[in-house]
Amino acid sequence: MNASNVLSVLALLPSRKEGLLTKNDHIVYSVTGSVGDDKVEGALGIKIVAVKEGEILVDVLPKKVPFMKRARLKFPWDGKEMSDLGGVVAGWSVLHHGERVGKSTISTPFGEREVEHYMRIEELDNGTLKSEQFVDPVHHLPFGARMSGRSGDVVFAIIETSLDWVKDSK
């Protein structure tokens, strides 16, 4: 196949803008555990609605996650930093809250990944809440999170994404 044929084939493929995120990208997390006496076996989808200069707009789409509601959220966006999505899965961003406790290796549907491990402990009226995030070391995308306290223990784990850089990362 010559170069002009390759270019003709490439022209037929959907284009992807440069950057980490584009409109309609998605990330899906399984959500499992318990809250009080209720067992949690659900999923959380995050769909990118718009990527603009300085901000991203996302739809938060929980299914069978009793403590979450559907929402549309706006986050600051510098073209690379994704830690604010930690606010969706754990309630906080690793850049602004929590403490880095080291590196870990986790299993994902895309293979083993080395991640940075962050933790936050909050004293609440109904007891202590310990939350952890496991994030990509470059862009701080949450691969998983765990929240545990007196009322239960819930784990978020990435199970699907349209982001090739996440699936192909080594």
In the chain, where the domains are located: 18-164
pLDDT score for 1 = 42
d(CA 70, CA 130): 24
Report residue 26 as tokens: 């998605």
Report the distance separating Cα 157 and Cα 161, nearest Å: 12
Burial-class residue 105 by CB neighbours within 10 Å (0-12, 13-18, 19+): exposed
pLDDT given for residue 29 in this prediction:
97
Q: Is 164 helix (H, G, I), strand (E, B) or coil?
A: helix
Distance of CA 21 to the CA centre of its chain: 12
pLDDT at position 19: 67
Nearest to 91 by CA among 61, 54, 119, 114: 119
Structure letter (DSSP) for residue 166: H
Give CA–CA dist 170/165, Å, rounded. 9
CA–CA gap between residue 167 and residue 43 (Å, rounded): 19
| CATH (one of 3.40.630.30, 3.40.50.460, 1.10.3720.10, 2.40.360.20) for 18-164 | 2.40.360.20
> What does pTM read for this prediction?
0.85
Kind of pairing, strands 99-108 and 142-149? unpaired
In this predicted model, what pLDDT tens digit does every residue of 81-128 receive, in sequence order? 999 999 999 999 999 899 999 999 999 999 999 999 999 998 988 788
Residue ranges for the chain with pLDDT beneath 70: 1-19, 169-170
**Backbone dihedral region for residue 85 (phi beyond 0: left; psi -120 to 50: alpha; all else: beta):** alpha
Other C-beta atoms within 10 Å of 6: how many?
10
